[in-house]
């Protein structure tokens, strides 16, 4: 059991119960929902969950429902300030629209990345990871 | 209700399991344990890019490679009702048997054979090893 003790900091999650929270997963996804319960491994349950997709100053929400997240996969959990939330100057658009924009951006970036890496390799640089690869 | 309690309550119900590598499994939960290992039946597997699919009769997924579970809304309600029912049943049973604490099995009971007809009916429970302890959420 000694090996489990480092995980006891999940106790600080008690303040988030029944609050609206934003969760960032290790794969880069942003999850918004009501935080319901958690355990010593920071596995937790969320209700009324949506996945929020961002593209520049636009966003879209994809309905998920109830989510049980294994604690290992979480980068950060934070309470959402309900008042400040309304002041965010983002515009909601449909999931389909945002997906086409995101994929367009991704394909363009991937293409650019390959070109950049090829140039850098000639100068003896090794390619680095992208954002999100660190965790 | 604790996350793994809900998972236990969801046995037999449909759900989606996503692995850390992005592969997803859609199926009915057969069994699960406290390590989050699960077995599913009638499973549709989807590759991480979402372009390939497989159908399988039954799969076992080791808990440590799971990212998350998506569970149907209705299951939280039914699990909650079931929990309340169990709690109420345990309460009435406890009262009728020996009056409060030290009743058989379900609360605080630890070790020893069931001592029938204990005169006082007080003190630490003496039923068979129960599940006991904790807040019973």
How far apart CA A87 and CA B62 sit, in angstroms, is 43
Does the beta carbon of B62 lie under 8 angstroms from any beta carbon of chain A? no
* Structural domains of chain B in order of their starting residue, each with its CATH number: 3-92 (2.30.30.100)
pLDDT of residue A131: 59
**pLDDT over 70 (residue B89):** yes
Work out the pLDDT band at A133, boundaries 50, 70, 90. Answer: low
Does the beta carbon of A24 lie under 8 angstroms from any beta carbon of chain B? no
Selected residue with higher pLDDT from B84 and B99: B84
- SS3 assignment, position B5: helix
Say whether A47 and B76 touch across the interface (CB within 8 A): yes
pLDDT of residue A66: 95
pLDDT of residue B95: 66
Say whether B72 and A65 touch across the interface (CB within 8 A): yes
Whole-complex ipTM: 0.81
- SS3 assignment, position A77: strand
| CA-to-CA dists, residue A104 to A11, A28, A111, angstroms | 42, 18, 11
**pLDDT over 60 (residue A21):** yes
* Residues of chain A contacting residue B69, judged by C-beta atoms under 8 Å apart: 67-68
Q: Which of B14, B24, B32, B67 to mutate to test the interface with A (most CBs of A within 10 A)?
A: B67
Does the beta carbon of B21 lie under 8 angstroms from any beta carbon of chain A? no
Does the beta carbon of B7 lie under 8 angstroms from any beta carbon of chain A? yes
Tell me, what DSSP letter sits at residue A123?
T
CB B48 within 8 A of CB B23: yes
A-chain residue closest to B36, CA distance: A70
pLDDT of residue B79: 85
Compute the nearest-CA separation of A66 from chain B (Å): 5
pLDDT of residue B117: 43
A93-124 pLDDT tens trace: 999 999 999 999 999 999 998 898 899 889 98
**B36 CB contacts (<8 Å, ≥6 apart)?**
A43, A70, B4, B7, B63, B64, B66
Work out the pLDDT band at B121, boundaries 50, 70, 90. Answer: very low
Among B61, B54, B5, B66, which Cα is nearest to B30's? B61
CB B57 within 8 A of CB B39: no
What does pLDDT average to over chain B?
78
Among B75, B76, B40, B34, which Cα is nearest to B56's? B40
A-chain residue closest to B137, CA distance: A37
pLDDT of residue B1: 87
Does the beta carbon of A70 lie under 8 angstroms from any beta carbon of chain B? yes
* Residues of chain A contacting residue B75, judged by C-beta atoms under 8 Å apart: 66
Work out the pLDDT band at B114, boundaries 50, 70, 90. Answer: very low
Quick one: tokens of A76? 């950060």
Selected residue with higher pLDDT from B117 and A81: A81
Does the beta carbon of B22 lie under 8 angstroms from any beta carbon of chain A? yes
Report the pLDDT averaged over residues B32-56.
95
What does pLDDT average to over chain A?
88
């Amino acid at each position: 059991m000694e090996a489990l003790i480092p995980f006891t900091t999940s106790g600080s999650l008690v303040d988030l119960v029944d609050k609206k929270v934003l969760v960032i997963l290790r794969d880069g996804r942003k999850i918004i929902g009501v935080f319901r319960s958690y355990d010593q491994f920071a596995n937790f349950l969320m209700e009324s969950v949506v996945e929020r997709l961002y593209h520049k100053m636009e966003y879209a929400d994809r309905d998920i429902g109830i989510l049980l997240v294994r604690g290992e996969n979480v980068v950060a959990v934070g309470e959402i300030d309900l008042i400040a939330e309304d002041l965010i100057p983002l515009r909601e658009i449909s999931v389909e629209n945002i997906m086409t924009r995101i994929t367009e951006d991704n394909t363009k970036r991937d293409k650019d990345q390959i070109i950049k890496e090829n140039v850098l390799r000639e100068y003896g640089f090794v390619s680095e990871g992208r954002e999100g690869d660190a965790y | 209700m604790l996350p793994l309690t809900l998972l236990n309550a969801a046995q037999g119900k449909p759900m989606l399991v996503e692995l850390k590598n992005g592969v997803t499994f859609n199926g009915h939960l057969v069994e699960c344990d406290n390590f989050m290992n699960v077995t599913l039946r009638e499973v549709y597997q989807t590759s991480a890019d979402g372009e390939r699919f497989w159908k399988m009769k039954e799969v076992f997924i080791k808990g440590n490679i799971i990212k998350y579970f998506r569970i149907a809304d209705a299951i939280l309600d039914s699990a909650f009702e079931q929990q309340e029912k169990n709690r109420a049943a345990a309460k009435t049973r406890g009262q009728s048997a020996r009056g409060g604490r030290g009743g058989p099995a379900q609360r605080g009971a630890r070790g020893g054979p069931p001592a029938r007809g204990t005169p006082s009916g007080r003190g630490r429970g003496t039923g068979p090893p129960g599940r006991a302890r904790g807040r019973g959420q």
